Amino acid sequence: MTDASLDWLISVDDHILEPPHVWVDRVSAKDRDRAPHMEHDDDGLDYWVYDGNRYPSSGLSAVAGKSKEEFSPEPLPYSEMRPGCYDPKARLEDMDRAGILASLCFPTVTRFCGQLFMEASDREFGFVCLQAYNDWMIEEWCGSAPGRYIPLVLIPMWDPPLAAKELERCAGKGATSFAFSENPAPLGLPTIHDQDRYWDPVMAAANDLELVVSMYVGSSSQVPQIAPDAPFLANLPWGAMRTSGAMLSWLFSGMFERFPKLKIALSEGEIGWIPYYLERAEQVLDKQRHWVKKMGFLGHAAADDTLDLDSFDVRGTFREHIYGCFIDDAHGIKSLDEIGEDNVMCETDYPHSDSTWPDCIGVVKRRIGHLPTETQYKLLRGNAERLYRFLPAEPPVLADA
Amino acid sequence: MTDASLDWLISVDDHILEPPHVWVDRVSAKDRDRAPHMEHDDDGLDYWVYDGNRYPSSGLSAVAGKSKEEFSPEPLPYSEMRPGCYDPKARLEDMDRAGILASLCFPTVTRFCGQLFMEASDREFGFVCLQAYNDWMIEEWCGSAPGRYIPLVLIPMWDPPLAAKELERCAGKGATSFAFSENPAPLGLPTIHDQDRYWDPVMAAANDLELVVSMYVGSSSQVPQIAPDAPFLANLPWGAMRTSGAMLSWLFSGMFERFPKLKIALSEGEIGWIPYYLERAEQVLDKQRHWVKKMGFLGHAAADDTLDLDSFDVRGTFREHIYGCFIDDAHGIKSLDEIGEDNVMCETDYPHSDSTWPDCIGVVKRRIGHLPTETQYKLLRGNAERLYRFLPAEPPVLADA
């Protein structure tokens, strides 16, 4: 390992503003008008149109290149975005400049785990569109630059057996991860605690095919709100309450016991909150499990059957199955020994408003540069390579290098 | 400061199971049957009876002396509790044994901020009962052992001007703190962000009289639930999401700018989550304030008028106004420099199921014993003495000392 190997990072959370041709190029000619497609207004704005609805792009989803004083949630036409937002070749230039060797990208107009197609009036056609996205993601976005993009696919959340088939199809084409919701309940779906084990076909496929369950914070379509009139600036930093809930929910779900190869990634979840919640979960398990067991785990058969609370190892289960990632989290890095250096990856959130672009590698290096070289390598890329079974390209040789 | 001064702690969060005579002794004879009073069942159980409802005591609220294998949420009669749960003299023996020099106690049957009286069909009589509790707390509970109990009073949450008067009355009798809700919205009350500034009379009184706003985690009557069917053992360790919401809510409320002497205590809130949320709040403020300001703080005039976001100092405001406490929080103590050694107190949660009793001082000393003597003293008692303007009694000389 040379010092130069620490000059690049793999980002496990970035975002694509889908280019206009994703669906119209891939559905049959007669369906082009009802697949997601782009329309333009006289006022210079453009909108995704699908299933009778119009979706403008929020300016906050495409701030790359803008100063924070210019951030705005107002609709932003593609013509005013950096091409890296929607073009995989242009994105490479932005990645090279920021020290991003490879990137896993979440979708935008489909929402973070494909809610758009689940909510469609015609789910059968929604599934056609979802498959088109997956093919485009693998063949075009990732295919445009081998070793630079980690393919993340979508599943039909409304049909787990169909989702399992789609995972198998996509795994055959190279996918190693899929987007899942941090909390399916607000989406109107059964949770991972469902007594009828609604999600088992999906998780069995993920287990067998070794596909990472990537849960983007916000994929529950839930916006954290402390109180109905709490200021936005109070609610926004509260966001990780969703991810902490997801972590605890999965830890005590019995899923990892039933599907021992399952790995979940808390995408854009940050990590600084993890040590407290792991310690607290250990305390609660130690003190409260006896009476909880007597009450039948409060009736949650799915977990009752699989979790032996007396021998359950909170931290061991976390380290075996759960991965966090950080953009710029001083407290998280300071607490790395409590989280585990094998469970943390980095991300750049390009082109969202939390992004550190164009100084991505600089920001991460300032946080982790004091750690042993081997630890830095794990955080920068080693853990992502192992988790996503991803072999990145050789770092490009830059003109000014 | 001698080593012996580190042998005792002040606990800023313990609990009283109200003794049966609290109200019947203090209301007029004709009202005894409609004040909270205790009735006994043939099956050996006892219940508080008030306003047409019966309230048994949960076994988890009085576990002092029980092993964790014996914990149970089943109703528990007073006769099976340690007398320290409800008797201030018996409590002293339990405190002496555990190294607790002084204790601030929250009520039980009234709920943590007096919700019982707010929900009563006759609030006028509810206020009579609330005043009776406050008088009993100051005169009897605290009066039984000067320098051993910090008086915490209740306010009529439904009538802020009346609450302000009650605070003035109680402050005159020695109260230095009152119970408030970590989130009044679920109680059906206006929040601290209310445009009409519903809470200003209360906070103005607290400011002028220097009364600490003590917010017990759970005083919103909200039980954290990750998903409708999430296991209890996942929801329970998630509890601090409420306190983290309260902290962010207060930081961005403008309250501290309008009432600069106001201090809030996040009672039983633990501390290990604080560093992450402070850092995250700083990041969000730095990056997102520009567009949020343009949108008028999303319409929150109460904060708009008082908070200058460009100069707002998250960490400075926290250190000036917010206090956390811990029972046994390794990560929190490890992160003490990020929280601030002047903002942390300890607690024992007697006689609840999180309590470390009877080894309270031992548990705390094992966590903080490596810190400088002066820091230990602050955490053990110095910060509580300063915040609650409390002069504790000299530590008792124990028979076996």
Task: Choose from A67, A76, A291, A293 for mutation: most chain B CBs within 10 A.
Answer: A291
Instruction: Examine residue B215 and state whether it is found in any structural domain, yes or no.
Output: yes
3-state secondary structure at position B41: coil
pLDDT digits 0-9 by tens, A14-27: 999 999 999 999 99
Share of chain A above pLDDT 70, in %: 96
Please state, rounded to an integer, the average pLDDT across all residues of chain A.
Answer: 94
Is B191 within 8 Å of A227 when comparing Cβ atoms? yes
Q: Tell me, what's the pLDDT at B300? A: 57
pLDDT digits 0-9 by tens, B12-53: 999 999 999 999 999 999 999 999 999 998 888 999 999 999
3-state secondary structure at position B180: strand
pLDDT (average), residues A122-138: 98
Is B280 within 8 Å of A237 when comparing Cβ atoms? yes
Instruction: Examine residue B298 and state whether it is found in any structural domain, yes or no.
Output: yes
Calpha distance A320→A337 (Å, rounded): 15
Calpha distance A32→B120 (Å, rounded): 62
CATH code (residue B256): 3.20.20.140
pLDDT digits 0-9 by tens, B274-332: 999 999 999 999 999 999 888 776 555 545 567 889 999 999 999 999 999 999 999 99
Instruction: Examine residue B110 and state whether it is found in any structural domain, yes or no.
Output: yes
From A248's Cα to the closest Cα of chain B, the distance in A is 5
Calpha distance B314→B320 (Å, rounded): 10
Instruction: Name the residue with higher pLDDT: B195 or A4.
Output: B195
Residue closest to A218 by CA, chosen among A249, A178, A190, A245: A245
- Do A158 and A189 contact (CB within 8 A), yes or no? yes
Instruction: Examine residue B62 and state whether it is found in any structural domain, yes or no.
Output: no
Instruction: Examine residue B72 and state whether it is found in any structural domain, yes or no.
Output: no
Structural domain range at position B231: 3-37+83-387
pLDDT digits 0-9 by tens, A193-229: 998 999 999 999 999 999 999 999 988 888 899 999 9
From B68's Cα to the closest Cα of chain A, the distance in A is 6
Confidence band for A401, pLDDT divided at 50, 70 and 90: very low
**Six token digits for residue A38:** 């782009």
If DSSP states are collapsed to H, E and C, what string results for A111-179? CCCCHHHHCCCCHHHHHHHHHHHHHHHHHHHHCCCCCCEECEECCCCCCHHHHHHHHHHHHHCCCCEEE
Element (H, E) at B63: none
pLDDT digits 0-9 by tens, A17-65: 999 999 999 999 999 999 999 999 888 899 999 999 999 999 999 999 9
Single-letter code of the amino acid located at A34: R
Instruction: Name the residue with higher pLDDT: B401 or A30.
Output: A30
**Least confident residue range of B99-113, B255-269, B292-306, B349-363:** B292-306
Calpha distance A244→A239 (Å, rounded): 9
Instruction: Examine residue B262 and state whether it is found in any structural domain, yes or no.
Output: yes
pLDDT (average), residues B338-355: 97
By the CB < 8 Å criterion, does B133 face chain A? no
Kindly tell me if the per-residue pLDDT of A2 is higher than 80: no
pLDDT digits 0-9 by tens, B211-243: 999 999 988 888 899 999 999 899 999 999 999
DSSP-derived secondary structure letter, A69:
G
Is A291 within 8 Å of B234 when comparing Cβ atoms? no
By the CB < 8 Å criterion, does B332 face chain A? yes
Burial-class residue B287 by CB neighbours within 10 Å (0-12, 13-18, 19+).
middle
Cα separations (Å) of A73 from A59, A220, B108, B223? 5, 20, 46, 33
Q: Is this prediction's pTM over 0.95?
A: yes
Q: Dihedral sign for Cα B49, B50, B51, B55, please.
A: negative
B155: left (phi over 0), alpha (psi -120 to 50) or beta: beta
pLDDT (average), residues A256-280: 97
**Six token digits for residue A154:** 């979508």
DSSP-derived secondary structure letter, B187:
G
Is B329 within 8 Å of A276 when comparing Cβ atoms? yes
Confidence band for A295, pLDDT divided at 50, 70 and 90: confident
Instruction: Examine residue B64 and state whether it is found in any structural domain, yes or no.
Output: no
Q: Tell me, what's the pLDDT at B338? A: 98
Number of domains chain A is built from: 1
Residues 6+ apart with CB under 8 A from B149: B88, B102, B103, B104, B105, B141, B142
Cα B9 versus chain centre, distance: 17
Is A233 within 8 Å of B73 when comparing Cβ atoms? no
Cα separations (Å) of A208 from A203, A227, B262? 8, 42, 57
**Least confident residue range of A233-237, B140-144, B261-265:** A233-237
Is B276 within 8 Å of A73 when comparing Cβ atoms? no
By the CB < 8 Å criterion, does B334 face chain A? yes
- Do A131 and A150 contact (CB within 8 A), yes or no? no
Instruction: Examine residue B392 and state whether it is found in any structural domain, yes or no.
Output: no
Is B238 within 8 Å of A251 when comparing Cβ atoms? no
Cross-chain CB nearest to A69 (options B284, B290, B292): B290
CB half-sphere exposure, B400, CA atoms < 13 A: 2
